[in-house]
Each structure stands twice: as C-alpha cells, then as structure tokens.
C-alpha cells in the first residue's frame, strides 16, 4: 500500500483506467490533468496542473511517495507543443520528485522511441533507440531523464514503452503491439511494488503471437501478461494489408513514421 500515489494525465484514456485499477493500492490517489476530471471520491485528491509550470508541478508532487506519470501529449504534434507538455513536463516531474523525496516513478514512455526499427525485428529493452517523430523524441528524452535521476539521485524508475493500449486491436499492426487495459494495470502495479526497480525499461505489450519486443531484460518486474491479440486475428486479417512499400508497413512505428511536417513548425 502506497500512502499517496500521484497519477498525472488522469483524465486521459489510460490515466482514467488506472485511476480505478490502482485505487486499491494507495491510501490516497492524487489525480492531475489540465482536462476536466470526475470529482474526487473518498481516498482521492483532484489537483489540476499544467506540466510546463515548474512551481505548480513542484506543489503537485509534494507529499507523494510514488508517481505514475501518464501526462503529456499522447500523439505526434508540432515540436513546440511537444516541448512544453512532454519535455519540460517530464523534467519538472523528476525535479519535483528529487526535491520531495519521491522514491519511485513509473514513466509512460512509448513504442515510438523505437519506431524506425523494422517490423519483424525482435527488440530487447536495451536496443538502439530510433524515434519516429517529435513524440518519440520526447519519450526518448524522458527515458534519459529517468536514467539521470536514478544515477545521480537514486530515484527508481520504470520506463514503459507502451504499445497499442486499446480495448481491442483495430488493425494488423496491433496484432503485434496490442496491450490490453488489464495487462497495462498489472504492469504498472508490478513496477510500483517490485522489490528492486532501479532503472528499468519494459515494453507495454500483451502476450501476442509473433512479438516485436522482448521483456527478457525486465523479468525482475514479475509481469506476466494475461491477454493476447490472437482472438482478434481472423477479423483483423480480413482487412487488406498495406502496400509492402508503405513505410507504415515497413517500420514498427506504423503511421507515425509518416506524420508531419507541420505548417506551424516554422
């Protein structure tokens, strides 16, 4: 049981799911986002906060023993938008954690950190990072921040390269990358309570056939996925495959490898 657990991005699709699934594991859940959230119930605190506001984040973190950092922009956007929410935001979270003695952070990284690896390659947790856009770059930066704050300050972190976290896989690519909500909850729980976390990178993926990612380097978490995309295979494979020359079929990042440029980048 964690005395006070902070979840950022708590109004988002994944954050709102974790709000429910992590409630039994904390005496108090502190929930934060800039989007509207449901009112707090017993054992909850709702604290709106802009991640780019360093002082506000510092106040947000105070009194917490652990953080599940889901906040930030969750898709490809112009760099300036990514900069405030995802890059400044993760720095502010970790600096707040250092100042207030937070023991453990679970950081929502992304499979887009390795999006320019080819589909079919089996990637280990220590593979070369090959971000596929501004969003992937921001998550790669966040992994470096987590590594730095562990090496210098001893803040334990798990960087979760989350795949396609949805109710069910919606296309052929997701037959490889799907992460069920149930498995997401279990992975985060394992990260919060693993006896020794240190600095860990893990892929957020269910037990799918023909995987692209291996969690052999994160076995110490004790995470055992229970779900698989296999039940959806026949339906998803009825949809015609992409052209073999399409970058979204060549690279693991799918459509993210083709996003941009954005007109307001300059």
* The pLDDT value given to residue 79: 93
- Give the count of beta carbons closer than 10 Å to the beta carbon of residue 244: 7
**pLDDT tens profile 93-125:** 999 999 999 999 999 999 999 999 999 999 999
199 flagged as catalytic? no
Q: How does residue 260 score in pLDDT terms, banded at 50, 70 and 90?
A: confident
* The pLDDT value given to residue 191: 98
pTM of the predicted model as reported, rounded to 2 decimal places: 0.95
Q: Phi and psi of 106, rounded to 5°?
A: -105, 115
Q: Which of 135, 149, 181, 251 is catalytic?
A: 135
Please report, for the chain, the start and end positions of each structural domain, with discontinuous segments joined by +: 2-265
Find the mean pLDDT for residues 17-36: 97
* The pLDDT value given to residue 68: 98
Q: Phi and psi of 199, rounded to 5°?
A: -115, 115
- Reported residue count of the chain is 266
CB 72 within 8 A of CB 86: yes
Q: Which CATH number fits domain 2-265: 1.10.600.10, 3.40.50.720, 3.40.190.10, 3.40.50.1100?
A: 3.40.50.720
CB 223 within 8 A of CB 190: yes
């Amino acid at each position: 049981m964690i005395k006070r657990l902070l979840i950022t991005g708590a109004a988002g699709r994944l954050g709102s799911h974790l709000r429910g699934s992590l409630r039994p594991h904390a005496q108090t859940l502190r929930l934060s986002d800039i989007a509207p959230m449901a009112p707090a119930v017993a054992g909850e605190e709702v604290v709106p906060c802009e991640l780019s506001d360093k002082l506000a984040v510092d106040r947000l973190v105070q009194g917490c023993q652990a953080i599940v950092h889901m906040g930030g922009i969750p898709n490809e956007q112009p760099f300036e938008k990514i900069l405030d929410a995802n890059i400044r935001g993760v720095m502010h979270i970790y600096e707040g954690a250092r100042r207030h003695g937070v023991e453990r952070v679970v950081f929502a990284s992304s499979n887009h950190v390795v999006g320019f690896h080819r589909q079919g390659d089996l990637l280990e947790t220590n593979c070369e990072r090959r971000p596929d856009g501004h969003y992937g770059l921001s998550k790669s930066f966040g992994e470096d921040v987590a590594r730095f704050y562990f090496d210098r300050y001893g803040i334990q972190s798990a960087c979760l390269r989350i795949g396609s976290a949805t109710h069910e896989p919606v296309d052929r690519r997701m037959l490889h990358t799907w992460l069920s909500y149930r498995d997401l909850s279990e992975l985060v729980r394992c990260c919060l309570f693993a006896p020794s976390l240190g600095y860990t990178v893990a892929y957020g993926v269910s037990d799918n056939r023909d995987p692209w990612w291996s969690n052999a380097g994160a076995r110490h978490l004790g995470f055992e996925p229970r779900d698989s995309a296999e039940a959806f295979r026949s339906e998803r494979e009825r949809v015609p495959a992409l052209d073999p020359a399409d970058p979204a079929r060549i690279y693991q990042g799918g459509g993210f490898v083709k996003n941009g440029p954005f007109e307001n980048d300059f």
